[in-house]
Every structure is written in C-alpha cells, then in structure tokens.
Amino acid sequence: MTNPLLARAAKSVFRYGGTFADFVPVRGEGSFLYDASGRRVLDFTSGQMSAILGHSHPEITETVSHWVGKLAHIHSSMMSEPVVELSEALAALAPPGLDRVMLLSTGAESNEAALKMARMATRGYEVVGFGQSWHGMTGGAAASTYSAGRKGYGPMSVGGMAIMAPNAYRPTFLKSGKHDWQAELDYGFELVDRQSTGALAAFIAEPILSSGGILELPEGYLAALQAKCRERGMMLVLDEAQTGMGRTGSTFAFERDGVVPDILTLSKTLGAGLPLAAVLASEATEALCHERGFLFYTTHVSDPLPAAVGLAVLKALARDKLAERARVAGDRLKAGLEAIMAEFDCVGDVRGRGLMLGMEIVRDKDSKAAAPELGSLITDRAMELGLSMNIVNLRGMGGVFRIAPPLTISDDEIDLGLSILRDAIKAATLRKAA
C-alpha cells in the first residue's frame, strides 16, 4: 500500500530524478532510519553519502540548537567567529598549500567556485574531467559532469572535455594482461591536446568516482595526472565531496598518493548531512584571484550556523579517531563483501577504500554483462529486509552498489548489513531464475 505522503507528493512535488522510495522515514538515529510504524532500516549510504556521524548525532543536534538561537545567518559581507575558526581548522588539517578557505553550502557550489578560481588564476577557460564524473548540477559543475544529466538542456559551458577514468575491472588499455592506466592517461591527454585551443585551465577529479561506479584512481595515478596538468599550466582540482573527512581511512583521500591539489573542494561529509561545503586553495591563488576581481557572493557564503556544525564534525573526527575507524571497519565490510562475491556468480567485483566501497552486479562473472533488472531486484529485496542500498547503472558497466555507511557504524551493524545483503542477493537470483 502506497504511503499517503507519497500520494500527496505526487500532486505537489516536482520530480528531480527517479521515483521516490516506498519507505518514508520520520526519524533517524545512529545508523538507522525509522518510519511511522517503528520499522527500522539500516542506512548503508549515510543518507546522500553525507551523514558520516550517523543520524541525529547528539553533538550536531546540540550545535544546531545553540547556533540557530544565537546567530544562524548574516550578510555575506560580514564575518563571524565560527567561520574563522573552521577556516583555521581546515587549513591546519590540510597540507601546506591549502591554507585559504571559502565556506559555501553544496558540492556543486564549491566546484563552481573552484573552477572560477582556476579560470581566473590561469586566464584559461577549458576544463577537463572524467567521462564517468559527477561534480554537481549547476552550470560549470554540470558541464564537468559526464556520468549523467547532460541531455535535453542545450549547450554546456564552452571548453569542456573528458577522458576515460581508469577501471581495473573493465580496462580499456592492457599491457601483459594487466590494466595499463598510464597508457590510458597518455592517450586521454593526447586527445585533450588535439582539442584544446591553448586555454586549458583545470582538470577536476574525484579520487574515487562515486556516481561513476566507485572507480578508485590507482596508486600513482594522481601524481601522473598532476604532472600532466603542470606540463600544460593547468590547475588540479580535487573534489572530495564523498571521500573527504576520513571516509577512505585518511582525512583526505589524496593523502595516500602524496599529492597536494591546487584546489580542494569538500562538501557532503564536512557537514555530516547538513549543507556545508568548502574550497581550499593556496595563499598565492587567493591573492591573485582577489587582485583580478574574483567575485563569488552567494546567499549563504560564510554563514555561522553551518560553520559551527563543521567544527563539531572535525572535533568528533579527531577525538573518536574516525578515519582509523573507517579503515578498520572498511576492512571488515570489504572482507564480508568479498565473501559474498565468492558465493554468487552475479557479483563481479568488489572495490573501493575504507567505508566507501562498491559491489558490481553482473549477469555472470565470465561475461561481465550488465544485469540492471537483477540489481533492482536486489535493491528492492534489501529494503524489504531492512537495508537501504543505492545502485547506479552506467553505460558499459553492471549495476554498482555504492556502500558508504556512517563512520560510526558498529561491527554488529556491519555484520547485519552483510547478512541482509546476502539474503537479498539469494532471494533475487532465485526469483530471476524462476
């Protein structure tokens, strides 16, 4: 029976994507969501990959309650203590070279600002991204997004180009039977050079492409990519909307590779489910952009309330050693997913890092053929059994579950999720076979 709220939504809410889930939560607590009947669902996606401290975290609740009654919003030309404190904390957390901070609301907004900074600093306008990327749904961010959402809107921003992201499970370039990502990268930039008018400004990349199917850039790739950028006078912009704030086992995913981007964007995880984003750049980049008249006034730039929330998030991450917890819990979760992969022929691959993992559903391991109907059956059955999963179906790939539970998830909750997922796959494969 359809929830009455969904019937009302059908008459009042503009649809912005797919269909709404039948499950209608009324509250969240920790790793679980609850509907009006009290039925609980384990949230294996942290909401929209954002609620890294789980739902209704007491410190976040207290912080919001305090600041909404004290100072929530001010004019964009004014400054407040939480904004300065969070900027200082982020600059201290990031490596040298990322010491100037702008606080905004969403990931798309932070990427818009970052690309404007890059264009202003380099005097170029061409932006290169990955063909499986997602950086947001607003102007410049959407023009750099290639995984979905490009059809039906007319021309995108001039100067957009894409190269293929490395995919070890479905490699485009092989050398001695192994994925040759360096050759793939070289070829991608050969095509960029052929298309460029000589006005390259930036390459924007996610260290792990989430909506692209949890495609992790292999070790060494970011350094090689940065070298390509420097050869051409481009800035490297890293979008850590989902990988930042400890999710991959380190504060920032790029730390593993010893690379410091020219510009870093954060969102989703920084606000732990509330709208907060940040752009980090160098003192030199900030000075140059300011000198040239950089302008990015938005209604909620430097708002005190979300900045205070960001400070609470950083405090919890440091005190509770949540990056380390993501690494340990991620190992447990990945081992469980790999055991499921060994059991079922429809699970083709398990990949990712920390508590940002992907499981690719295929028709069978030999063909690697896409099986979207099976993926949907698994998703639906998992929800019926009490597990919220998210699957993306992409051209040339199977359906990929994006598994990103809160960093606060317990071992017992991980094991519960694995048990439900296994039962859902078993039920779906039996139903499809019938």
Looking at the annotation, which residues are catalytic?
Answer: 134, 206, 239, 242, 268, 402
φ, ψ of residue 400 to 5 degrees: the values are -115, 120
Tell me how far the alpha carbon of residue 117 is from its chain's centroid: 21
φ, ψ of residue 107 to 5 degrees: the values are -65, -45
C-alpha closest to that of 326 among 54, 96, 27: 54
C-alpha closest to that of 252 among 326, 166, 185, 182: 326
Token reading at 312: 């609470």
For residue 157, the number of C-alpha atoms closer than 13 Å in the C-beta half-sphere is 21
- In angstroms, the Cα distances linking 200 to 32, 193, 197 are 45, 9, 8
Q: Provide the edge-to-edge strand list for the sheet that holds 387-388.
A: 25-29, 32-35, 40-43, 387-388
C-alpha closest to that of 46 among 251, 242, 207: 242
Distance CA 254, CA 317 (A): 18
Token reading at 213: 């199917």
